[in-house]
């Protein structure tokens, strides 16, 4: 993947503008990481709390470059067969049944087992060729003619053994299949790995990647995000609701409201024809922002103070 083929990544400013046209409002830090990752052909390891736009960053890059997004969702126990490739055993079995009747003709006149085996060897290991290979996300991303955006989502949920597999693939963008040989990507995919920090990622994998931490956005940036996603909401109400969400994030909650929940709340207030944040409206819609009853109770207990916080009133 070269810049001449993707002018959308020509500079940091161009990337920011391109993302904005796709509805993804980002800081210059994020745009810089994307620019460097593309120029240096290195994966980006994106860390941060849930709901700050890590996965969305990969999706938006795919949309901006008009490339396929190939996603690998990680989980405990994820192995090579689900991530890289596996053989089409059903197809192999079907072909075996179909060709069974022709084996008699092929082996006709053969003298003994050795000659029969020798005749069969002339055909090679056809059942272990690319025709019978089922590519999974990692291999599929390497097979795209124009390149692809490979999203390895929530890599912290996978095992350390899986990280070892990634190290091999992300270093040269090639994979060795014993029955076939080495398959190398003609165009290296652009890779995004995301992590919610449920466990530490190995130093070896971090060395392979550019590191990007996305925190919750500032009030100003989150207001721009809400304005982009919910353009019909009143300016004053948008300012109030974003300030209120930021006050909520300072509480000790089981689940801090994410950007997506701020957007959902803004849409909800718009649907309810809210013109201003008042106590009753907030109480009736807190469940859009908070997902645990304990968190809602904690917010209700200090609601008047939260509504008096700078910007919320």
Residues 48-71: tens digit of each pLDDT: 998 899 999 999 999 999 999 999
In a domain, 311, yes or no: no
8 A C-beta contact, residue 128 and residue 180: yes
In this structure, the answer to whether residues 191 and 264 fall within a common structural domain is no
In this structure, the answer to whether residues 103 and 143 fall within a common structural domain is no
pLDDT value of residue 95: 76
Name the phi and psi angles at 152, rounded to 5. -105, 95
Report d(CA 157, CA 266) in Å as an integer.
31
pLDDT value of residue 309: 65
CA-atom Rg of the chain in angstroms = 26
In this structure, the answer to whether residues 68 and 141 fall within a common structural domain is yes
In this structure, the answer to whether residues 69 and 46 fall within a common structural domain is yes
> What is the token pair recorded at 293?
């009853």
Helix/strand/coil (H/E/C) assignment for every residue in 177-246: ECCCEEEECCCCCEEEEEECCCCCCCHHHHHHCEEEECCCCCHHHHHHHHHHHCCCCCHHHHHHHHHHHH
In a domain, 202, yes or no: yes
> What is the token pair recorded at 126?
């056809």
In this structure, the answer to whether residues 191 and 69 fall within a common structural domain is yes
**Domain of 9, in residue numbers:** 3-81+137-213
Domain termination site, one of 189, 213, 237: 213
Burial per residue of 207-235, b for 16 or more beta-carbon CB atoms within 10 angstroms, e otherwise = ebbbebebebbeeeebbbbbbebbeebee
Domain count within the chain: 3
**Residue 177: other Cβ atoms inside 10 A:** 15
Residues contacting 41, CB < 8 A, separation 6+: 1, 188
H-only helix segments in the chain: 12-21, 28-40, 54-65, 80-83, 89-106, 112-121, 137-142, 160-172, 203-208, 219-229, 235-248, 259-271, 279-289, 293-301, 303-308
pLDDT value of residue 3: 67
In a domain, 157, yes or no: yes
Instruction: Name the stretches of the chain with pLDDT < 70.
Output: 1-3, 122-125, 309-313
Domain termination site, one of 213, 241, 259: 213
In this structure, the answer to whether residues 32 and 47 fall within a common structural domain is yes
**CA max distance for the chain:** 95
In a domain, 46, yes or no: yes
In this structure, the answer to whether residues 94 and 157 fall within a common structural domain is no
Q: How does DSSP classify residue 309?
A: S
In this structure, the answer to whether residues 70 and 209 fall within a common structural domain is yes
In a domain, 270, yes or no: yes
Domain termination site, one of 187, 213, 239: 213
pLDDT value of residue 285: 96
Cα atoms in the 13 Å half-sphere on the side-chain side of 243: 17
In this structure, the answer to whether residues 36 and 167 fall within a common structural domain is yes
In a domain, 303, yes or no: no
8 A C-beta contact, residue 160 and residue 203: no
In a domain, 208, yes or no: yes
> What is the token pair recorded at 186?
């003609």
Q: 187: domain CATH number?
A: 3.40.50.300
pTM above 0.85, yes or no: no
In a domain, 307, yes or no: no
In this structure, the answer to whether residues 113 and 229 fall within a common structural domain is no
The dihedral region occupied by 259, where left means phi > 0, alpha psi between -120 and 50, and beta the remainder, is alpha
In this structure, the answer to whether residues 92 and 163 fall within a common structural domain is no
Judge residue 239's burial from the number of C-beta atoms within 10 Å of its C-beta, 0-12 exposed, 13-18 middle, 19 or more buried: middle
> What is the token pair recorded at 3?
């810049």
Residues contacting 78, CB < 8 A, separation 6+: 158, 159, 162
Report d(CA 1, CA 8) in Å as an integer.
12
In this structure, the answer to whether residues 185 and 261 fall within a common structural domain is no
């Amino acid at each position: 993947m070269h810049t001449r083929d993707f002018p959308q990544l020509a500079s940091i400013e161009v990337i920011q503008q391109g993302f904005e046209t796709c509805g993804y409002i980002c800081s210059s830090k994020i745009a810089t990481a994307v620019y460097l990752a593309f120029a240096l052909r290195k994966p980006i390891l994106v860390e941060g709390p849930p709901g700050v736009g890590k996965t969305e960053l990969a999706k938006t890059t795919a949309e901006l470059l008009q490339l396929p997004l190939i996603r690998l969702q990680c989980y405990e126990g994820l192995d090579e067969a689900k991530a890289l490739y596996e053989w089409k055993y059903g197809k192999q079995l079907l072909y075996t049944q179909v060709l069974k009747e022709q084996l008699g003709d092929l082996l006709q006149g053969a003298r003994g087992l050795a000659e029969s085996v020798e005749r069969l060897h002339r055909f090679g290991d056809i059942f272990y060729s690319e025709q019978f290979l089922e590519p999974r996300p990692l291999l599929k991303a390497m097979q795209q003619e124009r390149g692809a955006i490979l999203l390895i989502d929530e890599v912290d949920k996978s095992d350390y053994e899986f990280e070892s597999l990634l190290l091999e693939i992300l270093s040269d963008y090639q994979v060795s299949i014993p029955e076939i040989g080495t398959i190398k990507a003609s165009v290296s995919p652009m890779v995004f790995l995301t992590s919610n920090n449920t466990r530490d990622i190995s130093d070896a994998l971090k060395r392979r990647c550019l590191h990007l931490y996305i925190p919750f956005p500032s009030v100003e940036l989150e207001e721009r995000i809400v304005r982009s996603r919910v353009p019909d909401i009143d300016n004053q109400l948008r300012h109030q609701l974003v300030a209120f969400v930021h006050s909520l994030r300072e509480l000790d909650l089981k689940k801090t409201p994410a950007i997506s929940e701020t957007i959902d709340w803004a849409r909800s207030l718009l649907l309810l024809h809210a013109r201003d944040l008042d106590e009753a409206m907030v109480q009736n819609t807190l469940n859009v922002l908070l997902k645990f009853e304990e968190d809602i109770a904690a917010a209700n207990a200090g609601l008047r103070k939260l509504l008096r916080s700078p910007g919320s009133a």
